[in-house]
Amino acid sequence: MTIETLSSNRSFGGIQSVHRHASAETGTDMVFSVFLPPQAIAGEKRPVVWYLSGLTCTHANVTEKGEYRRVCAELGLIFVAPDTSPRGEGVPDDPDGAYDFGLGAGFYVDATEAPFAANYRMRSYVERELPGLIAGHFPADMGAQAIMGHSMGGHGALTIGLRNPAAYRSISAFAPIASPMRCPWGEKALGGYLGPDRARWRDYDATALIEDGARVDALLVDQGEADAFLETQLKPELLAEACDRAGIPLTPRMQPGYDHSYYFISTFMEDHLRWHARRLG
């Protein structure tokens, strides 16, 4: 599989690049960004941290505002940020143009409902296709992977990590949608992509996966107390209750005064990267 380099810039001794490729899973071109630390440029295979973005975002949000490169350069971490959904001519969107469904709102599912099933395959794209691409084109140690994300991307990181515990040594999230089955964003998305049978939704709900037996060694979650979506959409208490019942060590950090923005994410990005680095070895 070939990739096209759209941009490449030196940063903190490493290289920040953006790439495009034709995806077999989504049937569209997909764009992603990669930061290679100096150690990788020197030829070392380095651990990979995946970052999944939230509603309305692309790879560019964290690439431009995440403030991760200095720490990744120090720790020798490759940082990969894919888009949130397929895009392009013919890709179906929300018929009313709403921000919380369709383009920019793929929810990291493999859709089964028409007309979304043909393109909205972000689960398979993130779990299988893009890792294969990264392994084939970059000096990545695919035996040392971590996954993290924000909001809808936090939901994606938690569910992908819980479904694939052997693939990821660590999982963390910023303000994740903790239980899409029990919030308006999630009910709309899962119903639209997967249909009305709620039993089929459980594979895309972190709390349900834990209730159904998924286990990991530890989770780190940061949540802003001033987040406008905290009570209606994110519901971190549901994840905490599920982890407590399952005996999963969860570090839930409520951050006073912080909202849902990248001011919040960039403040605690270094903490998350160092937490992952300790587990990636």
266 is catalytic: no
151 is catalytic: yes
Of 144, 217, 204, nearest to 176 by C-alpha is 204
- The catalytic residue among 151, 170, 172, 179 is 151
227 is catalytic: yes
- For 266, phi then psi, to 5°, come to -65, -30
- The catalytic residue among 19, 59, 150, 260 is 260
Q: Could you give the 3-state DSSP secondary structure of residue 141? A: strand
Match 């013919």 to its residue by tokens: 90
User: Where would I find the H helices in the chain?
Assistant: 38-41, 59-65, 69-75, 122-124, 130-137, 152-163, 184-194, 206-211, 236-246, 262-280
Cα–Cα distance, 66 to 191 (Å, whole number): 31
- The catalytic residue among 110, 203, 222, 227 is 227
Of 258, 50, 254, nearest to 160 by C-alpha is 50
Catalytic residues: 151, 227, 260
